[in-house]
């Protein structure tokens, strides 16, 4: 949907995002209150968060470090001097009557996120990242005539990540959000949990003729999942096309997405746009950073997902699918590399590929079935690596390996011990396999005759029967080879 083609010509869709990412931090941006999620209403509220008279904000240096780390991870410029400002508006869950934010001197300028599109890699440029405090929460459904306020969220640190209008369709938005989330999780600066509201995004959508300047943009708020984001964009693009095609003009307005109907509704028009009367926060001196602090943080930036995908593909020969699935979460990637270390010092590409396949298919399906994460500890990376190594070295077959994995999952035992205890070691002896096969062929002389008269499919039947005789322990390759030889010589 790069372009929307209609009878009148083409429209290009232009999309930019403002992502609010909650900073991972024990305490709030300007107070020492806890940020713990899921406690009772107003339990994590300090005098500062409740805006008592006389309180003053004190910037939490850990949150500032987290913003710097995010800026570095997203390829931005760290501004050594930035400033906090007051954004003034009245709302019952905004205790100060203003939000402390950063207006014209944000802590990070620029940056980009690389995403994969069907036409290859694309850079989504960032305008800026700034720090600001979150508001509280109003609850209108607790009492018939009163609204309740919960200030637990009030004052929690947010990073507002603002993109340039670089996205052209909903799929790019989805790819951007997935990639951004993945990077933030690698950096451990935001957990990216959209359900708990720790990552939220507003989206700006406009349409224009490719040869014309950008059109009027509409902002959509309150979109709390990537799936809804895509529906909201699709709805909004269609709405704008219809208006433009019928000769109308787009109003600059803010709309809300309603997940139930899949539609967007006007929240406020340009005329009602608030004048936030930003001005420098007089309670806080300018935020001045030493280059050495930035450098020290730079040294802690881990390898990020895109680089990992590339390395996995180039060094290990993984498929793009496997590489990006494994690299999507730092924990999975770490698990994979730890398991890989079971093998030789020089990476054996066959082992690496086999391991990736077993991780993405077999272990994931077990984890998904029980809704567990890779860190659950049910199967350690080392033991998983050892299991796949048993397959690789023909000690057990893949079929047997699935049983062993299931037993590892239940008992936590080492794969080699399970194989030994259960006598699951693969049989590779040609003689043993040949005698089993000879029995099968003797018992099924009629089928052998049918095979010879052209019923090739019976080959599998013989394999199955022989495997059954050998409790599945026969090496499939040897079995195949011997069977072929026997059938030819019959």
Partner 1 sequence: MHRLSLFDTKKALLERKFSSVELTQCFLERMEKHRDLNAFITVCADEALEAARQSDIKISAGSAGELEGIPLAIKDLFLTKGIRTTAGSKMLHNFVPPYESTVTRKLLDAGAVFLGKANMDEFAMGSANITSYYGRVINPWSCGNKKLVPGGSSGGSAAAVAGHLCVAATASDTGGSIRQPAAFCGLVGLKPTYGRCSRYGMVAFASSLDQAGPIAKTVKDAAIFLRVISGYDPKDSTSAPEPIADFESFAGKSIAGMKIGIPREYSIDGMSNDVSDAWQFGIDIMRNAGAEIVDVSLPHTKHALPTYYIISPAEASANLARYDGVRYGFRAEGAKSLNEMYKKTRQEGFGAEVKRRILVGTYVLSAGYYDAYYLKALKVRELIKKDFADAFGRVDMLLMPTTPHGAFAFGEEPDDPVSMYLNDIFTVTANMAELPGISVPICLDNLHRPLGLQLMAPKFREDLLIQGGYILEQSANFPILDEIEG
Provide the minimum distance between the beta carbon of 90 and partner 1 in the complex, in angstroms, as a whole number. 6
- 1, 398, 428, 434 from 478: Cα distances, Å: 52, 14, 6, 9
- 51, 85, 289, 444, 468 from 284: Cα distances, Å: 15, 9, 14, 89, 77
Task: For residue 56, state whether it binds partner 1 (rule: CB under 8 A).
Answer: yes
> 278 near 85, Cβ under 8 Å?
yes
Task: For residue 33, state whether it binds partner 1 (rule: CB under 8 A).
Answer: no
Q: Of the ranges 220-228, 272-280, 335-343, 478-486, which one interacts with partner 1 (CB under 8 A)?
A: 272-280
Task: For residue 275, state whether it binds partner 1 (rule: CB under 8 A).
Answer: yes
Count CB atoms within 10 A of the CB of residue 93.
17
- The rounded distance, in Å, linking the Cα atoms of 412 and 384 is 11
Q: Of the ranges 86-94, 222-230, 232-240, 245-253, which one interacts with partner 1 (CB under 8 A)?
A: 86-94
> 12 near 168, Cβ under 8 Å?
yes
- Match 């299931």 to its residue by tokens: 406
x-marked contacts with partner 1 along 113-152 as a string, rule CB under 8 A: ----------------------------------x-x---
Longest dimension (CA), the chain: 99
Tokens standing for residue 99: 């939000």
- The rounded distance, in Å, linking the Cα atoms of 330 and 370 is 21
199 phi and psi, to 5 degrees?
-140, 120
CA 58 to chain centre: 33
- Residues facing residue 17 across a β-bridge: 203
CA-nearest of 147, 110, 90, 116 to 309 is 116
Provide the minimum distance between the beta carbon of 81 and partner 1 in the complex, in angstroms, as a whole number. 15
Task: For residue 55, state whether it binds partner 1 (rule: CB under 8 A).
Answer: yes
Tokens standing for residue 319: 């498929």
- The rounded distance, in Å, linking the Cα atoms of 52 and 151 is 13
Q: How many helices (H) and strands (E) does the chain have?
A: 16, 18
Q: Which of 16, 57, 76, 111: binder of partner 1 (CB under 8 A)?
A: 57
CB-wise, 93 or 338, nearer to partner 1? 93
Task: For residue 255, state whether it binds partner 1 (rule: CB under 8 A).
Answer: no
Provide the minimum distance between the beta carbon of 218 and partner 1 in the complex, in angstroms, as a whole number. 21
Q: Which of 282, 371, 423, 460: binder of partner 1 (CB under 8 A)?
A: 282
> 86 near 98, Cβ under 8 Å?
yes
CB-wise, 39 or 52, nearer to partner 1? 52
Q: Which of 123, 227, 270, 277: binder of partner 1 (CB under 8 A)?
A: 277
- The rounded distance, in Å, linking the Cα atoms of 379 and 408 is 7
- For β-strands 81-82 and 137-139, DSSP reports them as unpaired
Q: Which of 92, 266, 296, 406: binder of partner 1 (CB under 8 A)?
A: 92
Task: For residue 59, state whether it binds partner 1 (rule: CB under 8 A).
Answer: yes
Provide the minimum distance between the beta carbon of 127 and partner 1 in the complex, in angstroms, as a whole number. 21
Provide the minimum distance between the beta carbon of 57 and partner 1 in the complex, in angstroms, as a whole number. 7
Handedness of CA 102, 104, 106, 109 (dihedral sign): positive
Q: Of the ranges 87-95, 303-311, 392-400, 408-416, which one interacts with partner 1 (CB under 8 A)?
A: 87-95
Q: Which of 53, 213, 247, 371: binder of partner 1 (CB under 8 A)?
A: 53
Provide the minimum distance between the beta carbon of 418 and partner 1 in the complex, in angstroms, as a whole number. 59
Q: Which residues contact 312 (CB under 8 A, 6 or more apart)?
A: 318, 322, 323, 326, 327, 356
Provide the minimum distance between the beta carbon of 20 and partner 1 in the complex, in angstroms, as a whole number. 22
Provide the minimum distance between the beta carbon of 82 and partner 1 in the complex, in angstroms, as a whole number. 14
Provide the minimum distance between the beta carbon of 284 and partner 1 in the complex, in angstroms, as a whole number. 5
Provide the minimum distance between the beta carbon of 285 and partner 1 in the complex, in angstroms, as a whole number. 6
Provide the minimum distance between the beta carbon of 329 and partner 1 in the complex, in angstroms, as a whole number. 38
Q: How many residues bind partner 1 (CB under 8 A)?
A: 30
Task: For residue 286, state whether it binds partner 1 (rule: CB under 8 A).
Answer: no
CA 376 to chain centre: 18
Q: Of the ranges 5-13, 83-91, 240-248, 301-309, which one interacts with partner 1 (CB under 8 A)?
A: 83-91
Task: For residue 454, state whether it binds partner 1 (rule: CB under 8 A).
Answer: no
Contact residues for partner 1 (CB under 8 A)?
A: 47, 50-59, 86, 88, 90-92, 95-98, 147, 149, 275, 277-279, 282-285
């Amino acid at each position: 949907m790069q372009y929307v083609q209609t009878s009148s010509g083409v429209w290009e869709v232009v999309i930019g995002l403002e992502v609010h990412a909650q900073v991972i931090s024990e305490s709030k941006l300007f107070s020492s209150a806890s940020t713990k999620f899921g406690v009772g209403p107003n339990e994590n509220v300090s005098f500062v968060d409740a805006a008592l008279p006389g309180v003053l904000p004190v910037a939490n240096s850990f949150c500032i470090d987290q913003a710097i780390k995010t800026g570095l991870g997203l390829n931005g410029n760290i501004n050594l001097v930035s400033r906090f400002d007051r954004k003034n508006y009245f709302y019952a869950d905004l205790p100060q009557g203003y939000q402390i934010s950063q207006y014209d001197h944000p802590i990070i300028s620029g940056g980009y996120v690389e995403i994969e599109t069907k036409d290859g890699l694309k850079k989504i440029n960032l305008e800026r990242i700034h720090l600001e405090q979150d508001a509280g929460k109003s609850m209108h459904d607790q009492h018939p005539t009163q609204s309740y306020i919960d200030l637990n969220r009030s004052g929690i640190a947010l990073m507002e990540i603002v993109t340039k209008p670089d996205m052209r369709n909903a799929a790019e938005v989805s790819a951007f959000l997935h990639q951004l989330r993945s990077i933030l999780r690698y950096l451990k600066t935001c957990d990216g949990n959209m359900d708990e509201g720790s990552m939220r995004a507003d989206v700006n959508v406009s349409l224009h003729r490719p040869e014309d300047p950008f059109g009027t943009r509409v902002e959509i708020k309150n979109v709390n999942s990537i799936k809804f984001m895509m529906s909201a964009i699709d709805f909004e693009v269609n709405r704008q096309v219809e208006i433009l095609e019928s000769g109308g003009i787009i109003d600059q307005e803010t709309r809300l997405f309603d997940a139930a109907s899949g539609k967007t509704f006007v929240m406020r028009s340009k005329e009602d746009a608030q004048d936030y009367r930003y001005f420098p926060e007089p309670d806080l001196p300018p935020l001045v950073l030493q280059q050495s602090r930035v450098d020290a943080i730079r040294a802690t930036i881990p390898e990020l997902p895109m680089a990992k995908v590339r390395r996995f593909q180039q060094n290990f020969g993984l498929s793009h699918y496997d590489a990006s699935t494994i690299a999507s979460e730092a924990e999975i990637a770490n698990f994979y590399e730890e398991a890989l270390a079971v093998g030789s010092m020089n990476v054996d590409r066959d082992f690496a590929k086999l391991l990736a396949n077993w991780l993405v298919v077999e272990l994931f399906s077990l984890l998904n079935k029980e809704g567990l994460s890779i860190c659950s500890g049910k199967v350690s990376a080392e033991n998983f690596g050892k299991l796949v190594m048993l397959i690789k070295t023909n000690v057990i077959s893949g079929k047997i390996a699935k049983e062993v994995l299931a037993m590892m999952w239940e008992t936590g035992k080492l794969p080699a011990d399970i194989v030994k205890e259960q006598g699951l070691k693969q049989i590779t002896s040609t003689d043993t396999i040949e005698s089993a096969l000879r029995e099968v062929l003797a018992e099924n002389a009629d089928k052998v005759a049918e095979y010879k008269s052209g019923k090739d499919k019976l080959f599998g039947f013989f394999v199955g029967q022989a495997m059954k005789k050998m409790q599945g322990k026969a090496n499939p390759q040897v079995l195949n080879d011997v069977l072929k030889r026997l059938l030819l010589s019959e």
